[in-house]
A and B are shown apart, each in its own frame.
Chain A
């Protein structure tokens, strides 16, 4: 506790973060979450599968946003942990005979262990070098995993039925919703994806509200000066890197539980797990908590209605990426925030008089 004499005037001040709109939002989001959790009772299987995609892309986007938008670590290599998580799921369920519901969090923890030495290597690099270096590291992961013949080598492998048909709770879901095994598996994946998305948003917000978050803001603005006021840059960045690696690993595990088929080229694809994620974050608004949610909805709509156009669709995505970056770099929420001052997840620390 502070042991100096603070003037009576000063002692009357305190710190405040929460705002009235944010309390309303907190209540609203709990209700919304409940509604989403109950959705499998009413929704068609198509919608459930689409929402799984939306939730895990949202979670990935939140992670990358924390890394690049808040910690300033523009990584082009997060696919390393998506693939790692996917392969860990396969290894833990097939060889470890673990239930997938247990394998997913375990995959996250193991990914964290991998992230520590990986982070220490890539943190030797700055800026552009960090971006390229992180991509090379992801390629190393891909090439190493392609060597494991037990998991299919370069061509990959599928999840055997003893894993997919016996996920904990699957019989209960089949009975509750009167569906067959594949649909029940989707419903379970849906709940896991929903939990991951909500959990990731909560985790990111908690980080930003904590002293770690304060350190991130300082590092983002003035890296060297932050050190001179006591911020441990390396430890803060490593902490964020390991946290995002853990979550990304769990997401990778979920993705490949749902797809039930894995290969190195797919699991470590820079396009699906980094390029699209970056696009989502930038469209929505980088460096804001609300941005990725908007970005993922836009991206989902693009995928849903235009993906059939094949190469033309991809060219359109390329054009959108360029246009957004040149003409609207703050993203949709970034401009809304600037114009209307809207903040759903407040992180400003205010000094108020008691």
Chain B
């Protein structure tokens, strides 16, 4: 197992964000997560990536207990994440953003990082903007950069948080292709998304979260057709 969550619990006062969550992810697997707002999806990512400490429970990566490991250590162990609202390093260029990840997350020397970063920029369609300061990027480019920077750390597990939001149909399609390529290259993906058709194009398993608990799990189309999901999501299109 690449990632294991055992009995993960997290509350903010009386709000339960994670309620005894259990999860197992195989290496190279693609998992989708859906759920209403406030279900605890981003909290789950924060717990996995290490920016939040759980109240109880255990997190294991490659059978190593990382529950108390810091965020930057988890990155070095192989967890990469992108944020819902892109958080690029504004005063740096696109290339420099990736360079930070390649040097600090992956451990390369700056000289050696140029080619791998160029590779990622080519695959995510950002090569033409390599030396552009981040301020002048469009939303789609920022989202691509968000993912590219996570990829620069050479993660075994990539956490994508609502990366398709705010994009046009065509832009969304292009992004899905890129994510498919990343998955095909062997990176495990956990993807939170509201735009479910994007998820269904990539993931092999789907989980539904509500009030910090797993409400449904399984093959994506079957989960979407289940009564629990229907109850939570009245009116969404699959």
A interface, CB within 8 angstroms of B: 1-2, 4, 6-7, 9-15, 211, 214-215, 217-218, 220-222, 224-233, 348-351
Per-residue A-contact encoding for B72-114, CB less than 8 Å = 1, 0 else: 1001100011010001111111011001110111111111111
The answer, among A11, A13, A214, A229, for a CB contact under 8 Å with B149, is A229
* With A228-B49, A228-B75, A229-B101 as contacts: A10 and B119 at CB distance below 8 Å: yes
B50: A residues at CB distance < 8 A: 227-228
A12 partner residues in chain B, CB cutoff 8 A: 118
What are 30 inter-chain pairs, A to B, with CB distance below 8 A? A2-B112, A4-B116, A6-B119, A15-B99, A15-B110, A211-B104, A211-B110, A217-B92, A224-B51, A224-B87, A226-B89, A227-B50, A227-B70, A227-B71, A228-B49, A229-B101, A229-B105, A229-B149, A229-B150, A230-B72, A230-B101, A230-B104, A230-B106, A231-B100, A232-B104, A348-B131, A349-B95, A351-B95, A351-B114, A351-B121
**What's the Cα separation between A10 and B127 when bound, in Å?**
10
CB distance from A311 to the nearest CB of B (A): 40
By a CB distance below 8 angstroms, the chain A residues around B116 are 2, 4, 6, 10
CB of B91 to closest CB in A, whole Å:
6
Q: A residues within 8 A CB of B92?
A: 217-218, 221
**Interface members, chain B 96-148 (any A CB < 8 Å):** 96, 99-101, 103-119, 121-122, 130-131
Residues on B facing A (Cβ under 8 Å)? 49-51, 70-72, 75-76, 80-81, 83, 87-93, 95-96, 99-101, 103-119, 121-122, 130-131, 149-150, 152-154
In the docked arrangement, what's the CA distance between A214 and B97, Å? 9
Give the docked Cα–Cα distance between A10 and B112 (Å).
12
Contact partner of B72 (CB less than 8 A), chosen from A10, A233, A349, is A233
**A2 with B108: CB separation less than 8 A:** yes
Q: Is the CB of A13 within 8 A of B70?
A: no
| Chain B residues closer than 8 Å to A217, beta-carbon distance | 89, 91-92, 96, 100
A64 to B40 Cα, complex, angstroms: 42
Which of B70, B93, B103 counts the most A-chain CB atoms under 10 A from its CB? B103
By a CB distance below 8 angstroms, the chain A residues around B101 are: 229-230
A222 to B104, Cβ gap below 8 A? no
B residues near A211, Cβ cutoff 8 Å: 103-104, 109-110
How many A-B contacts if CB must be within 8 Å? 133
Chain B residues, CB < 8 A from A13: 114-115, 117-118
Q: Check if A14 sits within 8 Å of B114, measured CB to CB.
A: yes
Question: Which residues of B lie under 8 Å from residue A348 when comparing CB positions?
Answer: 93, 96, 131
The answer for the CA separation of A320 and B127 in the assembled complex, in Å, is: 45
Q: In the complex, A6 Cα to B154 Cα: how many Å?
A: 13
A7, B111: Cα distance in complex, Å: 17
User: What CA separation (Å) do A351 and B126 show in the bound complex?
Assistant: 12
- Other A-B contacts than A11-B115, A211-B104, A351-B117, 9 sampled, CB-CB below 8 A, are A6-B118, A13-B115, A14-B115, A15-B113, A221-B92, A227-B51, A228-B71, A230-B105, A349-B110
A351 to B50, CA, bound (A): 31
- Chain A residues contacting B71 (CB-CB under 8 Å) are 227-228
B72 touches A232 (CB 8 A): yes
Q: Are B91 and A221 in contact (CB under 8 A)?
A: yes
Min CB gap A173→B, angstroms = 43
Q: Kindly name the residue among A2, A14, A351 whose own CB sees the greatest number of chain B CB atoms within 10 A.
A: A351
Question: What residues of chain B lie closer than 8 Å to A10, measured between beta carbons?
Answer: 115-116, 118-119, 122
Could you say which residues of chain B place their CB within 8 Å of the CB of A225?
A: 83, 87, 89
Assembled-state Cα–Cα distance A323/B172 (Å): 48
